[in-house]
Structure formats: structure tokens, C-alpha cells
């Protein structure tokens, strides 16, 4: 029954998406200034559709929770002996389940928009909801036709066949949902952009409505990428934290587009400039989300992240992509010229800096996109290539370095028109900090160019990020400004971690027999022994390693080489030792022959990575900055709404008194009048 | 007035969609062929994977009778799909020797009781050692072995109904 309820809810939701699309579109046909009767349906349809889609997902979650082996998806992806938490996460650890999650989040954000957003002109809102319904319906179709998660087996399976053991990890429990919320949150920005484009309402008011959605999606994307990077770091056991793998790039590209969009929408909201550019980024950001989903799910690219691959699904997804991206870009091409150009500004102004960085971010996006798709292009000519760090790092850095410089300077400039000479003292301070760091690092040793530049820029950027607070009473600084300061400071922290990891990492690969020891980065690593261990669905060999520094108390590390059954797969479980100034990273490899005393030797791989954790601390700071920024905006908006309400009530009162009669809201009005006026 | 510059993003996308569409229609070569075809089996001896069938060793392939060597596992779904076709092969006179990859006796017995047991012998290959030596990269795979232990043919993936006569024909040729 459970599966059937879920399946039915999905069909109903699809029908409501159709209603939402048609009602929204019909509402647009009413002449300007009048309200079409059809407009009535779009909002409720979106809300109920959201409830139904969430219900469908809850039903699937329940089927996984009780391991209902008559459902095909559960039987092929779960196992009755699996730990309960991983049974739940198994819901989205597969193609159908993750697509259902995708659609549920899509419906939920559409429903939230329909429910909560009252600031936009009703026509723009109708167009927006119509587009949102149009997007949703395609994905319902995809799910129901080619990836039905609720399909039953003719005969229930006796036992499930497990879950990819690489995915059996707490990091993965939260990673995909976080990313999906980010991906799909951008769908609202997309729908709003299309709605505004269709009804020619690209205004600062529209930008203010769009901004929290972009910010929210961006926060989730940031968290998702940060978590994903840390997951790959400790789970894949290669010691790296970013591999430029297509799946990673698929999450990075929407983030880059969303970062650009976030800044350009702020310019639009504050200064009524960058109209077409903002619309274009809104389309591109969500296109990148869909493109990412397509690349990951269709299997056109080979990735270390193993997912189910099915060419038929790929074709369907590509068709959807063609419909949405192709369609929206066509509308953009036809309509963009009719949006009048926004306000003008000087190059040396805050807008100028933001535009420059928008272009840099877009260039990095183009580089990542090209690198990700290049293997697809060459494979068409039967050449298999893999594009990796040797391309991405320098090509990305060409644009990232100027971007970081402008990022340090931009927030110091004023809107519209400013002179660089005004902020000369600050620039001198920043430049000397950067030069000092370069001199120090070059003096310390022989390091590659990019990490040195990274260290210098991170120092200057950290200082620059705090500069907007200078000379202000900290208690009076708006929350949104704190958000910007924190996010920019987070970028500096993250950049410092990356540069430090790239410059100072020490690595040791050695065959050690029990009792032997190795030295690395000031640490003494002693292999005490190697034992066989077993878990609920795996067996492993586990090393006992005592790590000590400077004669201190040794800490025991237990890296494992695991063998899973159902399905069989070998994974490497790294052991990490975190200190404030870095991380010790240990992996055990294969047996490596016997030593002179006849003792078994084991391959140990140890890294000392100074300040590597700052990469992810930075990521968290960036996300926190985004959260503060949303909180600040919402706070201001609520204050403004209350002020308007109070003002209305007072005016009503005055009118009533003037008319010589007490209005019905009189008592209420006097109460409201006591409330303080908002600060801004 | 429509400005051409706004068509640039669309042009890029159309190019990508065309490329991706083309690539999706291309057959992806995902099968890894063994280099062992035409060579004799390596030396091996595997313990029984279950109680009611003996284990497998190289000697079993040197009795002059051509056989099928089926590499499978109880945790593999396509193996369930090919089980009935293995049964047909057995009833048509083919001798099938099984090698269970990374499996537990209880799971093997369970699988056989549910999906039938077409095997004359089943060896347990706990670390995929024999599988790797055979040049097999996945389960299920089926090898046609002649009476002297030479590998004649490798079938990658599950055996479907249409493959049954082909495999029988190969066994017949090997006998003559």
C-alpha cells in the first residue's frame, strides 16, 4: 500500500503541476491591469503539489526504513542487515530515489514561493509559477516514465543486495540532499527570472524578491560542496580534497554561477543596474544545475563516483535539458533587447568591481565547463582523454587571482562613482601585507608559484574583508554587512588552507613491519601491529599506528583496508588526526612482502597536511556569511512590512477621527502606534 | 529589435546538446575482453563453495570433456536472470562448473535453493584471484573450455535465451 500511495501522490502532483502551468499561462492573457480568474489556481496548485511530492518522498523513505523488499528499488539498494541510518540514506543513494528527492525539493521550493511571496506584481507571479510548473512537469514525467521509484517486484526478494559501500558513510547521508536543495533552490531563481523577463518587470523590487532564494540556494550549495570535498578527502583515501572529477565539477559550476548571480542581483536591487546580465545568470545558474544532474545521471562522462548508468534515461534527461535550457535561452535571446538598460556607473565604483568579478567568475565557470565537457568532445573523435589538475589549476588561477585582488578592493569602493585615490592608504596596506608574505615564504623555502600567490592573497584578502568594519560602531553594522564580511573572510581562510596544503604537505610512502617507525613533518609514526577486524557487512585489516610529536603522548590511529560483501568492493578507510595546525592522514595499503626477520611488512601512506582543515572551516564561514545575509535581509523586510502596516493603520485612524467617528480598528491602531519605528 | 549578441549562450547550448545527443547514441564499449582466450587455464584449486557440490581444480578441466565455466555470485542480480538459461543449458547436456566470487556458503546455498543448481561443481574464489587470472572483470561471465583446459570463448554479462544455442554449438564443436 505504502508504495502505491507514493506512486499515486506523484501522479496527482504531476497533474497539479500541469494545472499550475496552464493557469499561470492563461492568467497572462488577461489584459494589463485586470486580474484573470485563472490566476486564482496557480498558487494553491503549487502548494498542494508540494505537499503531495513531499508525501511521495516520505512514502519511499518509509519503504526503505522498514526494508520493504517487494519494492524493486529497496531490494536492489538496501539490505535488512544494514545499519538503520544507512537504510534511510539509501533512499537517495540511487538514481530513482535521488531523482524523487530532486523533484520533491523542486515542488517544495515552488510551493514555498507560492505560499510566502506577496511583493511581486500578480502578473509576474503568475508567469513565475507557470514556469515553475512547466519545469516540474518535465521532471515528474521523467520520474514516472523512466525511473519509477515505486515499482514492485512480481515476487518479493528474499534479501536486498546492499548499497555501494563507498556510499555507506555519514558524510554521504547529508551531502546529496544538501546539494540538491542548492541545485533546486536555483529553480526558483530561474522561474523568477523567466517570469520577470516574460512580463518585462526586471526591477529592483524583483531583485529583492529573488535575492533570498539565490542566497539560500547558494548557502546549501556551499555547504554541499564543502561536505563533499571533505568526504572525498577522507573516504577516497588519496589524500586530495578536490579531484576535478565531473561529479565535483557538476556541483562547482552551479555554485560559480550562483555566486555571480548573488552579486549581480545585489547590484540590481541596490542600483537598478545589470538587468539583462542578472536575468542571464539566473538562467545559467539553473541550467548548470540541470546540466550537472544530466552529466552525473546519464553516464556520458566517466567518473570515480559510480552511479547507475542508463543511456535511455540520459536521452530523456537531454530532451528535458533541451526543452528548458534551450527554451529559456531562446526566450532570453528574443526578449533581452526589450529590457531597457539599467543605470550607468563608472568603472571605478563598487558596481564596477562587482561586474569585473562577475566576469571573472563566469570565465572560471567557462573553464570548468570546458574542462568537464572536453572529454565528451574528444570521445566523439574516439580519443579518450582525462582532464585534470594540470589544466584546471593554472587555467582557473589566471582568472581567480585578479578576482581575489578585486574582491579585496571592491567592498572598499562606493557605489556609482568613486576614485581609487580615495582608498589609496588601504591599498598600500594590503599590497604591503601581500608582498611581506611572498618575501617570507620565498625566504623559507622553494615552493611553487601558485601556492605562494595563494598565501599572499589570502593574507591580504583576510585583512581587506575586515576593512569595511573599520571606523563603524560594530553594534550598528547591519546584519547583511556582517554576512558579507564573514563570507569574504571565509574565502580568505579557505584560500589559505588550499595554498598551505599545496605548498607545505609532506608525504611518506613506506613498507613498514610491526615495530618499525617513520618520521614525517615533526611526527614519529610507529606501526604497532596489524589486526583483522570485521563489521556488520565488511571485513578489514586494521593497522595500529602510534603517532607522537615532540616527545608528547602518542595517539593511536587505525586506518583500515575494508572488503565489503553484497556487493563486493574494497575501500580504504583513512585515519585522521586533527591538530589546530594541520592534519595527519594515514592509509594502510597492501601487504608488501616480508622483512629480514620474516615479519610481514605493510604499505603505509602518511601525509602531514599543515592547515588543510582551514579549507573546510572557510567553507563553513562562507555559508554562515550567507545565512547572516539572508537573516539581515529578512529582518529589514519584516521591519518594513510592520512599518507599512502601522502607517496604514494610523492613517486609517486619523481618517476615522477626522470623520468624527471611531473606526473599527481604532483600539488596535493606538496599540500599534506605540511600536518603535524601524531603524532604516 | 533583436540583438545577435543575446544568441551566443543559445548557440553554445545547441552545440553542447548536439554533441551530448550524438555521444548518447554511440555504443559505449564497456566490455573488457580477456587476453586468455586461446590459452590454457591457469593452475588453480578452489575449495567447495557449498556443502553439496565438490570444489574445482584445474584437473577437472583435463578429462577430455568440454565444459562451461560460469563465474557468478549470490549477490549479483543478473546472475538470477541467467539462472533459468543455465538450467536449459544443463538439460541440453552441457556440464557447467561454477566459480562463486566473494561469497559465503550460506548465501550460496540460499541462492541455489531459490534459483536452481545447474552446476556439477562450485569452487569458492574469495579474493577474485582466479577471476582476475581468467581475465574476467565482472559477474556474471561464462567461459567455454575445451577438453584440454583451453579457453575457447568468453561470454560477458548474463546469458540470455538467444545465447543458449550459440554456446551449445560451441560445446558441440569442441567435442568433435
Residues A515, A581, single domain; the answer is yes
- Record: contact B73-A314, CB cut-off 8 A: no
pLDDT band at A217 (very low <50, low <70, confident <90, very high): very high
> Would you say residue A599 lies in a domain?
yes
- Record: contact B16-A294, CB cut-off 8 A: no
Residues A618, A672, single domain; the answer is yes
Give Cβ neighbours of residue B70 (< 8 Å, ≥ 6 apart).
B86, B96, B97, B98, B99, B119, B140, B141, B142
Strands (DSSP E) along A119-220, which ranges? none
Lookup: cell for A265: 542581483
- When divided into structural domains, chain A yields a total of 3
A466 or A293, greater pLDDT: A466
Integer Cα distance of A658 and A638 in angstroms: 30
Any A CB within 8 A of B9 CB: yes
> Would you say residue A344 lies in a domain?
no
Residue A65 has a pLDDT of 92
Nearest partner of A492 among A408, A417, A592, A391, judged by Cα: A408
Residues A24, A94, single domain; the answer is yes
Spell out the domain ranges in chain B. Answer: 45-175
Task: Assess contact for A349 and A414: CB atoms under 8 A.
Answer: yes
- For residue A433, pLDDT beyond 50: yes
Residue A676 has a pLDDT of 43
- Record: contact A380-B19, CB cut-off 8 A: yes
Nearest partner of A126 among A9, A32, A12, A217, judged by Cα: A32
* pLDDT single digits (tens) A34-54: 777 888 888 999 999 999 999
pLDDT band at A211 (very low <50, low <70, confident <90, very high): very high
Integer Cα distance of A518 and B36 in angstroms: 42
Please report, for residues A223, A519, A581, the alpha-carbon distance to residue A176 in angstroms, rounded to integers and kept in the order given: 11, 38, 30
Residue B157 has a pLDDT of 80
Q: Which chain A residues contact residue B6 at CB under 8 A?
A: 276, 332-333, 336-337
> Would you say residue A303 lies in a domain?
no
* Residue A268, Ramachandran bin (φ over 0: left; ψ between -120 and 50: alpha; else beta): alpha
Please report, for residues A60, A540, A602, B109, the alpha-carbon distance to residue A593 in angstroms, rounded to integers and kept in the order given: 49, 19, 8, 36
Q: Which chain B residues contact residue A318 at CB under 8 A?
A: 17, 20-21, 24
- Record: contact A565-B76, CB cut-off 8 A: no
* pLDDT single digits (tens) A589-619: 777 777 777 788 888 889 999 999 999 999 9
Q: Which of residues 102-161 of B touch A (CB under 8 A)?
A: 102-104, 110, 114, 128
Residue A368 has a pLDDT of 94
- Which of B16, B20, B26 is best to mutate for the A interface (most A CBs within 10 A)? B20
Cell numbers 551449445: residue: B168
Say what percent of chain A tops pLDDT 70. 91
- Record: contact B20-A318, CB cut-off 8 A: yes
Residues A39, A123, single domain; the answer is yes
Q: Nearest 10 degrees: CA dihedral of A395, A399, A402, A408?
A: -110
Residue A280 has a pLDDT of 92
- For residue A352, pLDDT beyond 70: yes
- For residue A679, pLDDT beyond 70: no
pLDDT band at A568 (very low <50, low <70, confident <90, very high): low
* pLDDT single digits (tens) A63-119: 999 988 889 888 888 888 778 888 888 888 778 888 899 899 999 999 999 998 888
Mean pLDDT of the residues in chain A: 86
Q: Which chain B residues contact residue A563 at CB under 8 A?
A: 102
How would you class A126 by CB atoms within 10 Å of its CB: exposed for 0-12, middle for 13-18, buried for 19 or more? buried
Integer Cα distance of B21 and A309 in angstroms: 15
Any A CB within 8 A of B16 CB: yes
- Record: contact A326-B7, CB cut-off 8 A: no
Nearest partner of A74 among A55, A54, A94, A56, judged by Cα: A94
Residues A580, A643, single domain; the answer is no
Any A CB within 8 A of B19 CB: yes
- Three-state secondary-structure class, residue A387: coil
Residues A526, A484, single domain; the answer is no
Residues A163, A16, single domain; the answer is yes
Nearest partner of A279 among A218, A331, A350, judged by Cα: A331
Q: Nearest 10 degrees: CA dihedral of A134, A252, A379, B11?
A: 50
Q: Among A124, A146, A168, which residue terminates a domain? A: A168
Q: How far is A246 from chain B (nearest CA, A)?
A: 14
Q: Which of A333, A337, A567 is closest, CB to CB, to B75?
A: A567
- Record: contact B24-A373, CB cut-off 8 A: no
Residue A629 has a pLDDT of 93
Any A CB within 8 A of B79 CB: no
> Would you say residue A353 lies in a domain?
no
Residues A574, A620, single domain; the answer is no
Residues A112, A51, single domain; the answer is yes
Q: Domain containing A30: what range?
A: 1-168
Buried b / exposed e along A260-282 (16+ C-beta atoms within 10 A): bbbbbbbbbbbbebbbbbbbbbb
Q: How many CB atoms lie within 10 A of CB A44?
A: 16
Integer Cα distance of A204 and A135 in angstroms: 25
Integer Cα distance of A107 and A96 in angstroms: 16
Q: Among A584, A611, A638, which residue terminates a domain? A: A611
> Would you say residue A250 lies in a domain?
no
Any B CB within 8 A of A511 CB: no
The domain B45-175 having CATH identifier 3.40.50.720: the answer here is no
Question: Per DSSP, what are the bridge partners of residue A543?
Answer: A530
> Would you say residue A366 lies in a domain?
no
- For residue A344, pLDDT beyond 70: yes
Question: Per DSSP, what are the bridge partners of residue A541?
Answer: A532, A561
Q: Which of B6, B23, B76 is closest, CB to CB, to A300?
A: B23
Nearest partner of B143 among B155, B132, B135, B133, judged by Cα: B155
Nearest partner of A307 among A99, A575, A45, judged by Cα: A99
Any B CB within 8 A of A383 CB: no
- Which of A299, A300, A306 is best to mutate for the B interface (most B CBs within 10 A)? A300
- Record: contact B10-A330, CB cut-off 8 A: yes
Pairing type for strands A538-549 and A555-557 reads antiparallel
Predicted TM-score (pTM) of this structure: 0.80
Integer Cα distance of A300 and B26 in angstroms: 10
- Record: contact A329-B13, CB cut-off 8 A: yes
Q: How far is A614 from chain B (nearest CA, A)?
A: 37
Q: Among A574, A590, A611, which residue terminates a domain? A: A611
Residues A8, A121, single domain; the answer is yes
Helix H or strand E encompassing A531 = strand A523-534
Q: Which of B1, B101, B114 is closest, CB to CB, to A568?
A: B101
- For residue A165, pLDDT beyond 80: no
> Could you say which DSSP state residue A152 is in?
B
- Which of B1, B5, B6, B139 is best to mutate for the A interface (most A CBs within 10 A)? B6
Mean pLDDT of the residues in chain B: 85
Q: Given CA atoms A388, B14, A260, A126 in this order, what sign does their dihedral have?
A: negative
Q: Within 13 Å and on the Cβ side, how many CA atoms surround A398?
A: 11
Residues A619, A575, single domain; the answer is no
Residues A130, A26, single domain; the answer is yes
Amino acid at each position: 500500500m505504502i508504495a502505491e500511495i507514493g506512486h499515486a501522490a506523484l501522479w496527482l502532483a504531476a497533474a497539479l503541476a500541469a494545472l499550475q502551468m496552464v493557469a499561470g499561462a492563461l492568467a497572462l492573457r488577461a489584459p494589463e491591469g485586470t486580474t484573470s480568474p485563472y490566476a486564482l489556481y496557480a498558487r494553491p496548485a503549487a502548494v498542494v503539489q508540494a505537499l503531495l511530492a513531499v508525501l511521495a518522498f516520505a512514502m519511499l523513505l518509509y519503504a526503505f526504513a522498514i526494508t520493504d523488499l517487494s519494492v524493486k528499488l529497496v531490494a536492489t539498494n538496501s539490505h535488512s542487515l544494514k545499519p538503520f541510518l544507512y537504510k534511510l540514506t539509501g533512499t537517495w543513494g540511487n538514481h530513482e530515489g535521488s531523482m524523487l528527492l530532486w523533484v520533491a525539493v523542486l515542488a517544495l521550493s515552488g510551493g514555498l514561493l507560492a505560499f510566502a511571496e506577496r511583493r511581486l506584481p500578480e502578473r509576474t507571479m503568475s508567469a513565475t509559477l507557470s514556469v515553475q510548473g512547466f519545469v516540474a512537469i518535465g521532471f515528474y514525467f521523467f520520474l514516472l516514465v523512466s525511473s519509477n521509484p515505486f515499482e514492485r517486484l512480481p515476487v518479493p526478494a528474499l534479501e536486498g543486495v546492499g548499497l555501494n559501500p563507498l556510499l555507506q558513510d555519514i558524510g554521504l547521508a547529508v551531502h546529496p540532499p544538501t546539494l540538491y536543495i542548492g541545485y533546486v533552490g536555483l529553480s526558483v531563481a530561474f522561474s523568477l527570472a523567466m517570469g520577470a523577463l516574460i512580463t518585462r518587470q526586471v526591477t529592483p523590487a524583483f531583485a529583492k524578491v529573488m535575492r533570498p532564494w539565490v542566497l539560500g540556494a547558494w548557502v546549501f550549495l556551499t555547504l554541499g560542496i564543502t561536505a563533499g570535498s571533505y568526504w572525498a578527502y577522507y573516504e577516497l583515501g588519496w589524500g586530495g580534497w578536490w579531484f576535478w572529477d565531473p561529479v565535483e565539477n557538476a556541483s562547482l559550476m552551479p555554485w560559480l554561477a550562483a555566486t555571480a548571480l548573488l552579486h549581480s542581483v545585489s547590484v540590481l536591487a541596490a542600483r537598478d543596474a545589470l538587468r539583462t546580465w542578472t536575468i542571464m545568470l539566473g538562467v545559467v545558474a539553473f541550467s548548470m544545475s540541470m546540466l550537472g544532474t544530466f552529466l552525473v545521471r546519464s553516464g556520458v562522462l566517466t567518473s570515480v563516483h559510480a552511479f547507475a548508468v542508463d543511456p535511455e534515461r540520459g536521452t530523456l534527461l537531454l530532451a528535458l535539458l533541451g526543452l528548458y535550457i534551450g527554451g529559456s535561452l531562446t526566450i532570453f535571446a528574443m526578449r533581452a533587447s526589450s529590457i531597457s538598460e539599467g543605470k550607468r556607473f563608472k568603472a571605478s565604483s563598487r558596481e564596477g568591481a562587482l561586474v569585473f568579478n562577475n566576469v571573472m567568475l563566469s570565465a572560471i565557470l567557462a573553464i570548468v565547463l570546458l574542462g568537464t565537457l572536453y572529454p565528451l568532445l574528444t570521445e566523439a573523435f574516439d580519443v579518450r582523454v582525462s582532464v585534470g589538475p594540470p589544466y584546471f589549476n593554472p587555467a582557473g588561477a589566471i582568472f581567480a587571482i585578479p578576482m581575489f585582488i578585486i574582491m579585496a578592493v571592491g567592498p572598499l569602493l562606493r557605489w556609482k562613482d568613486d576614485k581609487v585615490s580615495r582608498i589609496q592608504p588601504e591599498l598600500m596596506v594590503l599590497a604591503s601585507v601581500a608582498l611581506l608574505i611572498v618575501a617570507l615564504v620565498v625566504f623559507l623555502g622553494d615552493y611553487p608559484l601558485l601556492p605562494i600567490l595563494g598565501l599572499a592573497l589570502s593574507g591580504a584578502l583576510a585583512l581587506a574583508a575586515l576593512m569595511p568594519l573599520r571606523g563603524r560602531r560594530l553594534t550598528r553594522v547591519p546584519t547583511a554587512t556582517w554576512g558579507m564580511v564573514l563570507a569574504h573572510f571565509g574565502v580568505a581562510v579557505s584560500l589559505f588552507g588550499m595554498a598551505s596544503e599545496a605548498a607545505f604537505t609532506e608525504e611518506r610512502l613506506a613498507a613498514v613491519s610491526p615495530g618499525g617507525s617513520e618520521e614525517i613533518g615533526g611526527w614519529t609514526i610507529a606501526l604497532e601491529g596489524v589486526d583483522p577486524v570485521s563489521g556488520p557487512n565488511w571485513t578489514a585489516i586494521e593497522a595500529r599506528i602510534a603517532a607522537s610529536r615532540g616527545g608528547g603522548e602518542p595517539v593511536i590511529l587505525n586506518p583500515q583496508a575494508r572488503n565489503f560483501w553484497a556487493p563486493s568492493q574494497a575501500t580504504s578507510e583513512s585515519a585522521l588526526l586533527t591538530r589546530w595546525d594541520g592534519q595527519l592522514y594515514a592509509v594502510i595499503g597492501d601487504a608488501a612482502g616480508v622483512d629480514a626477520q620474516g615479519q610481514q611488512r605493510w604499505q603505509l601512506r602518511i601525509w602531514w597536511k599543515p592547515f588543510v582543515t582551514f579549507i573546510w572551516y572557510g567553507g563553513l564561514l562562507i555559508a554562515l556569511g550567507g545565512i547572516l545575509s539572508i537573516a539581515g535581509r529578512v529582518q529589514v523586510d519584516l521591519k518594513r512590512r510592520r512599518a507599512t502596516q502601522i502607517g496604514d493603520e494610523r492613517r486609517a485612524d486619523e481618517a476615522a477621527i477626522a470623520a468624527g467617528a471611531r473606526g473599527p480598528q481604532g483600539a488596535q491602531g493606538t496599540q500599534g502606534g506605540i511600536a518603535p519605528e524601524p531603524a532604516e | 529589435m533583436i540583438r545577435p549578441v543575446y544568441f551566443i549562450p543559445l548557440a553554445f547550448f545547441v552545440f553542447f546538446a548536439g554533441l551530448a545527443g550524438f555521444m548518447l547514441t554511440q555504443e559505449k564499449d564497456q566490455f573488457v575482453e580477456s587476453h586468455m582466450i586461446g590459452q590454457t587455464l591457469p593452475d588453480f584449486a578452489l575449495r567447495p563453495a557449498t556443502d553439496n557440490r565438490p570444489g574445482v581444480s584445474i584437473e577437472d578441466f583435463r578429462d577430455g570433456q568440454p565444459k562451461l565455466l560460469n563465474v557468478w555470485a549470490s549477490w549479483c542480480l543478473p546472475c538470477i536472470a541467467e539462472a533459468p538459461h543455465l538450467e536449459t543449458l544443463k538439460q541440453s547436456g552441457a556440464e557447467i562448473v561454477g566459480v562463486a566470487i566473494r561469497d559465503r556458503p550460506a548465501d550460496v546455498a540460499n541462492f541455489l535453493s531459490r534459483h536452481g543448481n545447474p552446476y556439477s561443481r562450485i569452487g569458492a574464489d574469495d579474493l577474485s584471484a582466479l577471476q582476475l587470472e581468467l581475465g574476467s572483470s565482472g559477474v556474471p561471465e561464462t567461459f567455454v573450455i575445451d577438453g584440454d583446459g583451453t579457453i575457447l570463448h568468453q561470454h560477458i554479462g548474463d546469458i540470455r535465451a538467444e545465447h543458449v544455442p550459440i554456446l551449445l554449438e560451441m560445446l558441440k564443436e569442441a567435442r568433435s
